[in-house]
Each structure stands twice: as structure tokens, then as C-alpha cells.
Amino acid sequence: MNKAKILLAIETSCDETAAAVLEMGGKNVLPKTLSSVVKSQIKLHSKMGGVVPEAAARAHVKYIRPVVEKALLSANYKLSSVNYLAVTQGPGLLPSLMVGVEFAKALAFAAKKPIIPVNHMLGHLYSPFNQSNSKSKILNLKSVFPMVSLIVSGGHTMLVLMENIKDYRVLGQTVDDAAGEAFDKVAKMLKLPYPGGPEVSKLAAKGNPRAIEFPRPMLHSKDYNFSFSGLKTAVLYFLQSNLKSEILNLKSDVCAGFQAAVIDVLVTKTMRAVKQFGAKSVSLSGGVAANTELRKTLSDNCKLKSINFFVPPVKLCTDNAEMIGLAAAFMLKNGKKPVAYQKIEANPNLTL
């Protein structure tokens, strides 16, 4: 009997130091997560109101070894028994990426392990494809494709068409700010703590989404691109012209109106792609996929069309190493070969 192949994945693209151990699974078996450790730097960066790249890199240097050790220990594996290493190569913040990449390369050299460099966005894309009893994850690869995948994070907003588990193409992406970035910037305007997404969505739950009508940029454009910079500016102008009024009471309505505009554009374009490509499923991933209202609206739309909807649990939406391991597992299953560690460089602008 073949022994299960074990993968150790490392992620440091932004402000989370993360490591995970996964069992790859055979040809038609989904990978299984054995451990996943995330050390968040939220406390550090909230003092500055956003991620400071050099501070993030210093924190990664401090935490990377204990985080990797903890992931191995919780999975009950020694580095010597791991079959593959996987590491986020990009996109992300260069100083942050370099810590993970150089650490993984040192492990590959010292322990003589093959290493797979992984695109962070591929991690988000494959994040629903793991073994679990939860309905929100894909348990069976049959009859889920074609799938339209909406990836919404702090740095990216993209629609991807997955023809099968191997072949995908980007249908469109943001031409300016990412959805998560817009959430963070609106939060800053409202003097809410970093990271802004969860704060805006908490306040939005108390507000009236129809009280203030914000624009829906590119809602009717014929392509699958997005733009959130104008929406952010509309919020800024609204706040400036209402400064003298009771702005505090307005905060929740501003959040609700802004969130409704973002969700309207994201969901409308996703469902349009579903129709055009005859998709059998929709998946939602990336940090903004933690947003309760977005999860619910997209799920309701999929129900109406009687198609599958997959969204990972919240802890797998924001950055983690489990998703990097999942992407690496599928890269290997799909025939990708490991890369010599000397040839791997962090790439902050890596594209999908």
C-alpha cells in the first residue's frame, strides 16, 4: 500500500505567519488538513492603522520557526517525514514574502526536500477543495464544474472560470482598488480600527442599506472587471458634505450602503458569468468572503438558480497556510513538478 504523501506549507505574504501540514490524498481523493497554525499580526499593525511592510517582515522572522514547529508537532510529523514543502511565492508584500520563501528554501536545502512555489491567489482559489464533513466544502469533484470562482481579498478582486480541477482562466479583475482594500479605506475614513472589513460589516448589520444610495461601479459593463475606487470616493464626498450633521448616527447607514453597493456588483457579475458559462457551481474565497452578508447573498442567488455554492469556513477565507498546501497538492496531482530551491524567488507581482 502506498503511504500517504505529506506536505508542509508556509504562508507569509502579508501580515499572517502561517504553516500547515496536509495529507495530499490520491488521484481522486481530496487533500486532508492535519494541522494549521496562523499567527496574526493584527495587534501590531492596528496601532499604525494598516500593515507596515518592514514591521510585518520582522514579525514573520520572529514567528516563522515556532509556527512551523507547532504545525509539525500538532500533526505529529517530523520534518524528515514530510514529502514536499510548499511556500507562497507571491503576490504580496516583498519583505513579508521573502521571509517565508527564504525560510522554506533553507528547509529544502537542509532537509533535502522538494519544494513547490505557490501563487497566493491559487491558494484562495483552491481553499474550498478539502476533505471535511461541512457542506460548505467540496467533497466530491464530480458534477461541480464548470465553476465560477469569486476571489475577493485585500489585494485582489477576481472572477475565475474553473473548467475542471486543473484548467482555469481569469474572466476579469479589479482595475483599481480591491474590494477588501475599499472596505479598509472606508473604515479608515470612519475612524474604525484596522482591519476595516470586519468592523464595517459589524456596523453595516445595524444600518439601513437603502438609506444612502452609493454608486455601483461597472455593474453594467460588458466585461467581468471591477472598480471600487469611485465608490470609495463617493463615500468620502458623502462624509465631507455631511460632516456637520450627526455623523456618528450615520456611520452604520454609510457602512450598510457601502457594503450593499460592493455586494451588488460582486454578486451581479458572478451570476452573469454563471449564466454565460453554464456554471454548475459558484465558489467564494479570500478575506472578504468572511463577510456574512456577501456569503448569504451569493448563497441565496445560487439556491435560486439551483446550483452548488461553496465557501470555506471563515478561518480559511483570511490568509492561512492550509490553502497554500491545498493548491500545492492539486498542482502536484495535476502533474506540476517541484522547482529547484535555488530558482525560487519571492515575487510581489506574481499573476494568476
| Of 184 and 253, CB closest to ligand KG4 | 184
Q: Compose the 284-323 pattern: x for residues touching Zn ion by CB under 5 A, - for all others.
A: -----------------------------------x----
Q: Of 14, 194, 33, 19, which Cα lies nearest the Cα of 120?
A: 14
Q: Of 72, 75, 66, which Cα lies nearest the Cα of 39?
A: 66
Q: Which does 198 bind (CB under 5 to 8 A by kind): Zn ion, ligand KG4, none?
A: ligand KG4
Q: Compose the 319-348 pattern: x for residues touching Zn ion by CB under 5 A, - for all others.
A: x-----------------------------
| Of 308 and 347, CB closest to Zn ion | 347
| Of 90 and 286, CB closest to ligand KG4 | 286
Nearest residue to the partner ligand KG4, using Cβ? 287
| Of 157 and 259, CB closest to Zn ion | 157
First and final C-alpha spacing in the chain: 36
Q: Which does 288 bind (CB under 5 to 8 A by kind): ligand KG4, Zn ion, none?
A: ligand KG4
127 binds Zn ion (CB under 5 A): no
Q: Which does 184 bind (CB under 5 to 8 A by kind): ligand KG4, Zn ion, none?
A: ligand KG4
Give the Cα-Cα-Cα angle 47, 51, 54 (nearest 5 degrees): 105
DSSP state of 347: -
What is the spatial distance between Cα 237 and Cα 227, in angstroms, rounded to a whole number?
17
DSSP state of 81: G
| Of 199 and 319, CB closest to Zn ion | 319
CB of 291 to ligand KG4, least distance (A): 3
CB of 253 to Zn ion, least distance (A): 29
Q: Using the rule CB under 5 A, which residue among 88, 153, 201, 227 binds Zn ion?
A: 153
Q: Which does 281 bind (CB under 5 to 8 A by kind): Zn ion, ligand KG4, none?
A: none
| Of 124 and 137, CB closest to ligand KG4 | 124
Q: Which does 36 bind (CB under 5 to 8 A by kind): Zn ion, ligand KG4, none?
A: none
Bridge partner list, 17: 39
Tell me which residues touch ligand KG4 (CB under 6 A). Answer: 14, 153-155, 180, 183-184, 195-198, 201, 286-288, 290-291, 318-319
Select the span of 131-139, 151-159, 174-182, 204-212 touching Zn ion (CB under 5 A): 151-159
On whether the CB atoms of residues 4 and 24 are closer than 8 A, the answer is yes
| Of 43 and 142, CB closest to ligand KG4 | 43
Q: Of 167, 160, 166, which Cα lies nearest the Cα of 330?
A: 166
Instruction: Decide: residue 246, CB within 10 A, 0-12 exposed, 13-18 middle, 19+ buried.
Output: exposed
**Cβ-based neighbours of 62, under 8 Å, separated by 6 or more:** none
Alpha-carbon separation of residue 140 from 8, 27, 131, 272, 324 (angstroms): 24, 12, 9, 25, 20
Q: Which strands form 84-90's sheet, in the order they lie side by side?
A: 32-40, 16-23, 6-11, 84-90, 115-119
Q: Which does 91 bind (CB under 5 to 8 A by kind): ligand KG4, Zn ion, none?
A: none
What is the spatial distance between Cα 17 and Cα 242, in angstroms, rounded to a whole number?
41
Residues of the shown chain interacting with Zn ion in the complex, contacts defined by CB under 5 A: 153, 319
